Amino acid sequence: MPQYDSVIRSQRVVTPGGVRPAAVGIRGGRITAVGDYDALPAGGGDTDLGRVALLPGCVDTDVAAQAPGQQLREGYARTAAAALRGGVTTLVVTPAPARPAVTGVHALDGHLAAAADNGVHVAFLGGIGPHSSPADLADLRAAGVVGFHCSLSDGGAPDVGPVGDTRLRKAMAEFGAMQVPLFVHAEDAGELSVPARGGNEALLMSRPPRAERRGLERIIAAARVTGARTHISPFTAAECAAVLAAARAMGIPVSAQTCPHYLCLPAEQVPDSSPAFGCRPPLRSSANRNALWSVLTADGDSPITTIGSGHRPGTGVEAISWLLPALWTAAARRGCGLDDIARWTSAGPAELVGLRRKGRIAPGHDADLVAFDPDAFQTVPENDSGPYAGRHLTGRVNATWVAGRSAFTASGGAGTKGTRKPGRPTANGDPLLPISG
């Protein structure tokens, strides 16, 4: 009879074949069996989640871990703790705006040391610096980066600077040979302007959708020549989806990821003076948000294949701890299922960056798991530093396991449902600050 270190059961296990009652057997940090709900014998521990769902841990491919003025080790510790609260078990960290930017092996070694022993798996994207040579890029790949990242504008990352067309094509040729993806912040610097004043409305005016369109045209032209796998991160301007779709129809290996805040928070709801919404590209209109959902959920080949948190402590949106609840709140209203959430946040990102043992609840995969109650309700604390402060969310992360070991348990335990808490009514009687539907 097989022996397991532990078994986790749920009436709603999100497997590659769909959502079903199942028992997951774990040994040595790996999933060794996925059987019927009552089939597997209990091992060293048996957790029964009941109706609370079991999801694969999220693989977040859009994370910055350090706030300005913060020690690198402290940044990783705080980001890892927030990630586990949000059901994220693997961080794929962007090369900047951290100090030092990950543009060489020495800097990468510093980040590896700072990120150690924080309870999550951490992988890295290498950056293209102003003096990066092909040898530098090859050394970074040999040292373990799972992909690379660059920006056509500032992208909130002055350490790596904007990349011109010649440099972009040369780098893409290198990455095509390495068979790793290139993540690109697509806003074209020539289409941006200096905000006329402070505030989110001025930021929106200074970074129009046409900046993304022009950037996409440049990226697609380079990808067509080099054949490099290219991932737009983040993609926000829904009007540009047709450009991506046409490129994919021609066989150009380009795809995109977006973030929950672009899917949940229209610009019309953003307090103009709040720094919690200072993302780049900026939050766009309600009409754009609805169109972005249409692109994401379209039948067939959607160019948006992954969703990352876009977590930028101190320089933009701090939201990794609300990744699953915020996304589920909006997705469930549009008829999406837990399997869709897992595909966008776990399986798709893991496949993109070559983490073959991540992102799925299947034998042979790492036992990175999340107990997620899709029926629970919670209110984000008013003093939360992120964009969801005071908002009512559906869904709650009850527990997170990394390599089969408990890494986070919410108050109430892994199998306890949350309850609806009444929000303060607005003038029309609706709860205060719901996620937009």
Q: Write down the domain spans for the chain.
A: 57-352
Rounded Cα distance between 260 and 202, Å, is 22
The pLDDT, as a whole number, for residue 155 is 52
Which residues, at least 6 apart from 301, have a Cβ–Cβ distance to it below 8 Å? 245, 248
Rounded Cα distance between 93 and 422, Å, is 37
Rounded Cα distance between 45 and 405, Å, is 11
Across the chain, which has 437 residues, the per-10-residue mean pLDDT values are 87 98 97 93 83 98 93 97 98 92 95 96 92 92 97 71 92 94 96 90 92 97 96 97 96 98 93 88 96 94 96 91 97 97 98 98 98 97 94 97 97 45 31 48
Under DSSP, the state recorded for 314 is T
In 269-368, at which residue ranges do the beta strands (DSSP E only) sit? 304-307
What's the chain's length in residues? 437
What DSSP element (H or E) covers 175? helix 165-178
Residue with tokens 């306890």: 416
Q: Do 63 and 91 meet the contact criterion of CB atoms below 8 Å apart?
A: yes
Which residues, at least 6 apart from 34, have a Cβ–Cβ distance to it below 8 Å? 13, 15, 22, 23, 24, 25, 361, 362, 363
Q: Do 243 and 188 meet the contact criterion of CB atoms below 8 Å apart?
A: no
User: Which CATH code of 3.30.750.24, 3.20.20.140, 3.40.50.300, 3.20.20.70 fits the domain covering 57-352?
Assistant: 3.20.20.140
Q: Which residues pair with 123 in a beta bridge?
A: 92
Residue with tokens 């009652």: 21
Rounded Cα distance between 33 and 31, Å, is 6
